[in-house]
């Protein structure tokens, strides 16, 4: 079954010292890493009277080790064997184990015959099937099987008796459990035709090929506890060479090897090998206790965008949402957005979200993550969203939740609609780059070329539309080597291509988002997210309307001055300009103090200056107001008030 694990583990028991366990983990093939290599390794010792029963992979990428301890106390000189089953988990990245936790204890038994464990794919964490021989009577042994559910922390939350089985003493009962994605579990049982297995090595699953096996039975344990079984004894019944010669088990199938698995769609697959040239493969579709909504994960009810949606408008998605069947909380792993390249069939990273990213939990069971317009920005393009195991967890138990695998949550944007666009001229802007250790020896021109190419591929646009201008500036504001690099964006007349203004927006969004694809590239990962992409301002476009307003103001003042001179030739007509300039200067001083006063440590320094300036301006205005012609004075007052209101 595909559990979307990030690694696999190999372990062995030292033959010379069966208390020494060696382990090594390897990565699995991933979309972002197509190589297999060793990730970590280590070893540990088991204490006396301890032996390793089984190892299983967990949803969060860790590994569970099940260890048995046998104690031999005596009561009134009568020996009593106590068996303890412990669980502890290996964190492969750190190479450390958790403290062991007791999950089962049995008294007065000879051994634990069988332990099989697996992740439960539910809020209950993990599940184990434990079989123990209870009592011997004559040539027969009574086996009892228990079903245990426990959290990854080691807390047991459910213990349930399943059934009793009686077999001849020449047989040993073995079981294997595979929990279903859709609730419940399937248990495969079989008998080992050998002496009792009293070895300290873990029970092998599938059966050890050096032995013979028989009595294979399959059972489905549903969520409500109901058990549905079917018998596999009559397989290959016409081949007499494989029939049991034991008179107690006439017509029972004997096999050398069996492999069994439960697929994600709840199909049970069984491979049985009877001899070197005889084998069978069987399958059966098992009942589902829970519904699947197309995500091969019954914990996911719906998403936005929907799976296989083909009506998505580029740049029109601002949030992605996932609705779960249970209450959730954020966890550690990632949710990743990919673009599927139609030419190479390769998945290209667009953005990823971690447990601390811009995602919100709504109504306790829905997840909403913000998306910028630069992520889904292409026409007629297919996007795929992958949710890792343990991206979210069940809030009730903090157990990791299974994710959504590759090529399951797919959707496509609509073809280009020939939209009406306004085509801008060429734009020039700057980015800021800190030289990392792996690129600091490259020339700045090579670095700029590589950064420009990676940015063009990340948007994506044609590389000839984004060019570096060979203008660089060494940023001396910090001790580390940083450069300001100037880029030029060229326009297009193709209505299906991004405009200059859209490219500016895409660049700024991608650079400012530390979880975007550019921070996975070799060069753009060193860009400054706080700087973004700053467009160089066109000075003429910035001030042309201000200059026009100033010119109109001067013309109006000039006309007023000429009218005043015509009507009052003996008056001080230039005073109109002086009053306006003085009042304008006063207003600018006040605005400067209000807006930039925080830049001065002692703001009180401005107060005396402001008071003196106000007095000086008032005296200056009053001096000009001392004219002999009272009518001109009234006219000037009206004009001054008008200009104060205008300014």
**Using one digit for the tens of pLDDT, what is the confidence trace for 475-509?**
776 767 889 999 999 998 888 899 999 999 999 99
pLDDT at 3 over 50: no
Q: What is the reported pLDDT for 279?
A: 83
Confidence of residue 455 (pLDDT cuts 50, 70, 90): very high
Cβ-Cβ contacts under 8 Å for 581 (sequence gap 6 or more):
none
Cβ-Cβ contacts under 8 Å for 28 (sequence gap 6 or more):
5, 6, 7, 8, 36
pLDDT at 606 over 60: no
CATH architecture classification, 300-413 = Sandwich (2.60)
What is the C-alpha separation between 123 and 150, in angstroms, rounded? 10
Q: What is the reported pLDDT for 34?
A: 64
Q: What is the reported pLDDT for 572?
A: 64
pLDDT at 188 over 60: yes
Q: What is the reported pLDDT for 201?
A: 38
Q: Where are the domains of the chain?
A: 7-232, 300-413, 427-535, 543-646
**Using one digit for the tens of pLDDT, what is the confidence trace for 211-260?**
666 667 777 777 666 677 766 655 544 444 444 444 444 445 677 777 88
Lowest mean pLDDT among 2-16, 150-164, 270-284, 408-422: 2-16
Cβ-Cβ contacts under 8 Å for 429 (sequence gap 6 or more):
486, 487, 489, 504, 507, 533, 534, 535, 536
What is the C-alpha separation between 100 and 615, in angstroms, rounded? 83
Is residue 181 within 8 A of residue 261, CB to CB? The reply is no
Phi, psi angle pair for 577, to nearest 5°: -65, -40
**Using one digit for the tens of pLDDT, what is the confidence trace for 610-628?**
554 555 555 455 555 554 4
CA dihedral 303, 305, 310, 311 (to 10 degrees): 130
296: its two tokens: 């091969």
Which fold, 427-535?
Answer: Alpha-Beta Plaits (3.30.70)
Cβ-Cβ contacts under 8 Å for 567 (sequence gap 6 or more):
635
Domain 7-232 has CATH 2.120.10: no
What is the C-alpha separation between 517 and 97, in angstroms, rounded? 34
Is residue 302 within 8 A of residue 309, CB to CB? The reply is no
What SS3 state is found at 578? helix
Is residue 220 within 8 A of residue 287, CB to CB? The reply is yes
User: Which helix (DSSP H) or strand (DSSP E) does residue 608 occupy?
Assistant: helix 606-625
Q: What is the reported pLDDT for 620?
A: 53
Lowest mean pLDDT among 54-68, 274-288, 358-372: 274-288
pLDDT at 32 over 60: no
Q: What is the reported pLDDT for 423?
A: 66
- The reported pTM is 0.76
Q: What is the reported pLDDT for 240?
A: 46
Is residue 125 within 8 A of residue 119, CB to CB? The reply is yes
Residue 525 half-sphere exposure toward CB, CA atoms < 13 A = 10
What SS3 state is found at 368? strand
DSSP letter at 464? G
Q: What is the reported pLDDT for 237?
A: 47
What is the C-alpha separation between 555 and 444, in angstroms, rounded? 52
What is the C-alpha separation between 443 and 449, in angstroms, rounded? 10
Is residue 275 within 8 A of residue 306, CB to CB? The reply is no
Lowest mean pLDDT among 40-49, 158-167, 206-215, 304-313: 206-215
Cβ-Cβ contacts under 8 Å for 461 (sequence gap 6 or more):
497, 498, 503
Task: Of 19-33, 383-397, 430-444, 543-557, give the range with the top mean pLDDT.
Answer: 383-397
Phi, psi angle pair for 561, to nearest 5°: -65, -40
Q: What is the reported pLDDT for 282?
A: 82
**Using one digit for the tens of pLDDT, what is the confidence trace for 335-384?**
999 999 988 888 999 999 987 777 999 999 999 999 999 999 999 999 99
Task: List Cα–Cα distances, 271 to 204, 242, 555, in angstroms.
Answer: 16, 16, 97
For all residues of the chain together, what is the average pLDDT?
A: 80
Average pLDDT over residues 445-470: 94
What is the C-alpha separation between 449 and 573, in angstroms, rounded? 63
Lowest mean pLDDT among 196-205, 409-418, 519-528, 585-594: 196-205
């Amino acid at each position: 079954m595909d559990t979307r694990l990030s690694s696999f583990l190999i372990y062995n028991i030292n033959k010379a010292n069966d208390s020494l366990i060696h382990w090594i983990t390897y990565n699995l093939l991933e979309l972002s890493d197509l190589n297999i290599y060793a990730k970590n390794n280590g070893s540990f010792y088991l204490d006396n009277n301890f032996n390793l029963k089984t190892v299983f992979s967990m949803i969060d990428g860790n590994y569970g080790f099940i260890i048995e301890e046998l104690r031999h106390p005596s009561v009134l000189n009568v020996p009593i064997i106590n068996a303890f089953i412990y669980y502890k988990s290996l964190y492969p990245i750190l190479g450390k184990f958790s403290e062991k936790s007791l999950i089962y204890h049995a008294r007065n038994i000879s051994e634990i015959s069988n332990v099989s464990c697996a992740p439960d794919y539910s809020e209950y964490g993990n599940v184990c099937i434990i079989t123990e021989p209870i009592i011997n009577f004559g040539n027969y042994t009574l086996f009892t099987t228990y079903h245990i559910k426990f959290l990854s922390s080691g807390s047991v939350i459910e213990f349930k008796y399943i059934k009793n089985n009686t077999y001849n003493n020449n047989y040993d009962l073995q079981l294997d459990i595979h929990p279903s994605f859709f609730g419940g579990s399937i248990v495969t049982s079989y008998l080992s035709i050998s002496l009792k297995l009293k070895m300290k090595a873990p029970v092998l699953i599938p059966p050890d090929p050096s032995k013979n096996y028989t009595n294979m039975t399959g059972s489905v344990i549903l969520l409500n506890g109901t058990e549905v079984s079917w018998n596999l004894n009559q397989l290959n019944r016409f081949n007499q060479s494989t029939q049991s010669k034991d008179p107690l088990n006439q017509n029972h199938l004997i096999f050398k090897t069996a492999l069994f698995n439960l697929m994600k769609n709840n199909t049970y697959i069984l491979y049985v090998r009877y001899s070197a040239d005889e084998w069978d493969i069987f399958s059966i579709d098992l009942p589902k206790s829970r519904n699947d909504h197309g995500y091969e994960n019954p914990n996911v009810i719906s998403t936005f965008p929907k799976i296989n949606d083909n009506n998505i408008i580029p740049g029109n998605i601002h949030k992605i949402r996932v609705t779960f069947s249970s209450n959730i909380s954020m966890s550690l792993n990632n949710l990743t957005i990919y673009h599927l390249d139609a030419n190479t069939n390769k998945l290209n990273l667009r953005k990823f979200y971690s447990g601390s990213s811009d995602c919100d939990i709504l109504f306790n069971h829905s997840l909403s993550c913000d998306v910028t317009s630069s992520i889904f920005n292409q026409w007629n393009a297919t996007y795929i969203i992958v949710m890792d195991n343990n991206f979210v967890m069940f809030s009730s138990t903090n157990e990791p939740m299974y994710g959504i695998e590759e090529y399951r949550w797919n959707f496509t944007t609509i073809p280009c609609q020939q939209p009406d666009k306004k085509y801008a001229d060429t734009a020039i802007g700057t980015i800021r780059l800190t030289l990392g250790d792996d690129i600091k020896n490259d020339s700045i021109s090579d670095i700029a070329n590589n950064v420009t190419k990676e940015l063009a591929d990340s948007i994506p646009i044609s590389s000839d539309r984004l060019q570096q201008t060979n203008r660089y500036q060494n940023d001396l504001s910090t001790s580390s080597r940083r450069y300001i690099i100037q880029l030029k964006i060229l326009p297009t007349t193709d209505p299906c291509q991004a405009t200059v203004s859209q490219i500016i927006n895409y660049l700024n969004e991608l650079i400012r988002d530390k979880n975007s694809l550019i921070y996975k590239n070799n060069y753009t990962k060193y860009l400054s997210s706080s700087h973004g992409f700053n467009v160089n301002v066109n000075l003429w476009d910035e001030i042309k309307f201000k200059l026009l307003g100033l010119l109109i103001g001067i013309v109006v003042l000039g006309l007023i001055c000429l009218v005043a001179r015509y009507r009052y030739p003996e008056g001080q007509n230039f005073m109109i300009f002086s009053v306006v300039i003085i009042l304008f200067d006063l207003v600018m001083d006040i605005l400067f103090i209000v807006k930039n006063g925080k830049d001065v440590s002692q703001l009180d320094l401005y107060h005396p200056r402001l008071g003196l300036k106000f007095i000086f301006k008032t005296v200056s205005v009053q001096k000009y107001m001392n004219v002999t012609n009272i009518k001109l004075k009234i006219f000037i007052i009206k004009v001054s008030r008008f200009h104060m209101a205008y300014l």
